[in-house]
Amino acid sequence: MEFVCRAKMNGLWVSKAIMADVWQSSMDHAVAVARKAGEMVRGALKDDRTVMTKSSAVDLVTQTDQKVEQLIIQSVKEKFPTHRCVCVRFIGEESVAAGESCNLTDDPTWIIDPIDGTTNFVHAFPFVAVSIGFSVNKQVEFGVVYSCLEDKMFTARRGRGAFCNGEPLQVSEQTDIHQAIVATEFGSSRDPTAVDHIFRSLRNILCLPVHGVRGAGTAAINMCLVASGCAEAYYEIGIHVWDVAAGSLIVSEAGGVLLDVDGGDVDLMSRRIVAANNRTIAERIVKEIESFTLQRDDAPLQS
């Protein structure tokens, strides 16, 4: 959509065509609903942490994850029954756990992790995020990560920068891996072969040496730390599209780069990611990762 604005310059009227952002109202809604979801998470932290398990004994879920996801999906459906005449689609962590398909199509799609850092939430470990990404033509158009216990609202709109509580974000300028902080996680698989790979990669990176290895317990917040310049990189094998959709745009709009752990282009459905402040750091980390392949998020459902 285009509209024309007129302004006087050096005594002359000039007309300028301005492109309206077709997804701005969706992004505003994502920010508002993430804030509401964050209030729900903070409230539940005091009294509702009944724990259930999903794919393994350490893959946790609570009723709050499910309630928050419903809140987000319902409010989006009410506000946007369609997007530009196309039915609105969702990929939500808990809906997928309940058996819904997880396919990223060209249609406008809301990609939701109601609580990124569920294990943290269960233990009141203070890093918990609501993560909402929105993709069109398989490209993330905007990302919102609300770190609800820190009250930090991270946002990014494709081509328009990344922000935290309205302040612009910029990745670190460090190019020397030896001066870097690298974030990673152990994930929720305890398959001994996968754990061996994870530990060998971790050992390789730690002994480069790097200044330090950290992990907030949430992929989304780890990525926001890279975008904020507090960590040079984050990598993980085992994440899901809902953990990283929003964060990936926040990193790239803050000036960072995304790669697959084998050094190719990142594929949000592949469950592997390297997010770094620049290509030098990203490629250095890729060299040290002992990669392995997991079932993709969009693998056909087993009947």
Contact residues: ligand IPD, CB under 6 A = 93, 113, 116-118, 185, 187-188, 217-219, 236, 238-240, 243
Which has the closest alpha carbon to 156: 2, 275, 23? Answer: 23
Least gap, CB of 218 to ligand IPD (angstroms): 5
The answer to whether 271 and 297 have CB atoms below 8 angstroms apart is: yes
CA distance 277 to 117: 23
Q: Annotated catalytic residue: which of 91, 115, 181, 205?
A: 115
Q: How far apart are the first and last CA of the chain?
A: 44
From 236, 243, 253, 297, active-site residue = 243
Which of residues 112 and 254 has its CB atom nearest to ligand IPD in the complex?
112
Do 27 and 80 touch, CB atoms closer than 8 A? Answer: no
Give the nearer residue to ligand IPD in terms of CB position, either 93 or 297: 93
Nearest residue to 130 via CA among 27, 246, 237, 46: 246
Q: Please say which residue, 160 or 190, places its beta carbon nearer to ligand IPD.
A: 190
Q: Map residue 88 onto helix, strand or coil.
A: coil
**Distance of closest approach, residue 219 Cβ to ligand IPD, in angstroms:** 4
Within 8 A by CB and 6+ apart from 57, the residues are 190
Rg (CA), the chain: 20
Q: Which residue is nearest to ligand IPD (CB)?
A: 185
Q: Is 243 a catalytic residue?
A: yes
Query: Is 48 one of the annotated active-site residues of the chain?
Result: no
Rounded least distance, CB 113 to ligand IPD, Å = 5
Taking a C-beta distance cutoff of 8 angstroms, is the pair 247, 275 a contact? yes
Tokens of 257: 């780069």
Spot the catalytic one: 116, 236, 288, 297.
116
Judged by CB, which is closer to ligand IPD: 188, or 204?
Answer: 188
Other CB atoms within 10 Å distance of the CB of residue 190:
12
User: For residues 28 and 59, which CB has a smaller minimum distance to ligand IPD in the complex?
Assistant: 59
Active-site residue, selected from the candidate residues 65, 93, 253, 288: 93
Closest residue by Cα to residue 253 from 148, 145, 176, 181: 145
Residue 136 or 258 with smaller CB distance to ligand IPD = 258
Contact at 8 Å (CB) between 152 and 165? yes
Residue 115 appears among annotated catalytic residues = yes
CA pair distance 238, 55, nearest whole angstrom: 12
- The residue from 109, 118, 184, 218 that is catalytic is 118
Residues catalogued as catalytic: 93, 113, 115-116, 118, 243
